Structure 1
Amino acid sequence: MRDEKLGIAVFGAGRWGVHLVRNFLEHPNARLIAVVDTEGDRLNALAERFPLDNVKLSTDWEAVMQLQDVQGVAIATPATTHALLIQAALEQGHHVLSEKPLTLDGAESIKLCQLAEQHQRQLVIDHTYLFHPAVRQGRKTLQTGTLGELRYGYAARTHLGPVRQDVDALWDLAIHDIAIFNHWLNETPTQVQAQGTVWLQSQSPNTQFFPQGLSDLVWLKLIYPSGFQALVHLCWLNPDKQRRLCIAGSQGTLIFDELSTSPLTLQRGYLEQTDQYFIPAGQSVEALELEPAEPLRQVCGHFLSCMAQNRPSEISSGWVGAKLVQILSALTTSLNQGGQIVSVP
């Protein structure tokens, strides 16, 4: 990486934007140039929390895009604004780190990836879980073949809120688990299926996208080219908080439980047949050792490295983000069709 610090502007000073500001302020290879938010109160609160004497705070995103020292922008604004801001940043010659999802439309996401290539700028998507130590180690563990033949996967992401008013639980929560399954399996689903239940918000501001309202509960299935299938349970109306994802194989199960004191566990075991009976054998439990690291700090460092070398992200590029948007769009189609199996483009 080059010696000079890279100039960064953060767009959005909400919950996630605050974390981006903190990480770029602390990173030795970054210089925070500006923070943009439409709400002045958020900017004032940010100034009270962090040393921002040399950082421009603005409600005018177009003016900040024009600042000479800005080389990259980090976007943490609502998903509906991503396409406009990303396009403007790329056309201005900036590299872009965007919060997930890339956009709410697959074709629009692909156009942004193509635009980034056209301008020879890097588009990186903040799929933070792909930089989590447990997810990184999980991928390495799977590559050793320890689980034997991979059979199926399952995940649960539930909690009591926060309840979104712009998208349903599918768009809010599913992208994390889909991203992890894709990363671990090194493939993407070709078919999907989803069913949803609406309790709280039967009316949606986007009736074309969510004609039946915003689903609070979603069950989905991912079907991969290899034949592997994964089932995911999503709900933001359940006090039983779960952040758990597993892959089961013929020799054991790999478990990523974010809420556990041992986030990544390998449970070995298989069945041996004796006469007409199947007997459990080879059972053991191993908590896998992880390197301590803040995932978002890893994301920011990765983005800065991609900027400095002007090379695409091998972990979470715009193309990875676009494929996830296509998968979510197909799941939405399935949900709106009452659970029909839908092919992913």
Structure 2
Amino acid sequence: MGLRIGVAGAGLLGRLAVLALARAGHEVTLFEANDSLSPTSTEPRAAAWTSAGMLSPIAEMETGGDTVRELGERSLQLWQEIDGYLRAHANTSSDLDSGVGLKLQDSLMVCHGSDLGSAQRVLRLLDGDSARVIKLPADEAATLAPGLKSGLHCWRLIGEGHLYPALAMQNLAAAVPQVRWRCGEPVLGLTPGCVQLRHGTESFDWAIDTRGTGAATEVPVRGVRGEVIVLSAPGFQLHRAVRLLHPRWRVYIVPRPNEQLVIGATEIESEDRSPISVQSTMELLSAAFSIFPSLAEARILWTDVNLRPATPDNLP
């Protein structure tokens, strides 16, 4: 007999938990503070709506070491299973056949010649996976990333990839119609088996907290700011994430469906949700243009800012 389970927070982790629990036969209720399962960019919302979706256990060894690499390798396996499940349970009236938009075609790291010394220091931190970090000759780099500026140093990170988080959010929700979705009901707190709401407390066999930064009053997490720019680049052919190594920041470019790209950078230690600044916009666009000059004619569709939850040691 299944359990009655309450889940607080309809971000990516909450939806993944709901999928696993519903598949196991449990009766699940999911509480979400936003009034909609697809909130607008003007509302505080789950980090997944903004995330670029890179799956990069090798590259993330720079800051997370072996712990992040091992967990990241496991996540690659899990995402393949989840993507396959969503596609297998698709029907003609849904987008489930696109799964989570998973693409496992490796990723690229690049740097300008003037930054090679800094890049080599990063590469030494990835030495435990040296067999999967391959220096590419110029012709192969140009084949894997058409339009890449000549003269750049380029490495291929074998086995990495990316997914489309917003698509994953939509399809994970569509895959579990039997779940009770309680939108517009912020959770004030959780105790064992209890979910505390504005109008009272509801009891369950289990209560699971996946609120991210919404749980900061109860667990040691903080919000870390992330900024992205979404471009439309008709004719631009990119099939894998590209990460620019720079002494001050890491800029990434991730392909999206419909000839779109996401440009973003590593996190900013701030819980500010205000719009992206002029300086950040110029730095991101300049970095992208410096490695892909053909992006000069791309169009800016929108910018976005969000907070992702981080622990004190930045590890999962």
TM-score, normalised by the number of residues in structure 2: 0.26
Greater RCO, 1 or 2 (C-alpha within 8 Å, sep 6+):
2
TM-score, normalised by the number of residues in structure 1: 0.24
Larger-gyration structure (1/2):
1
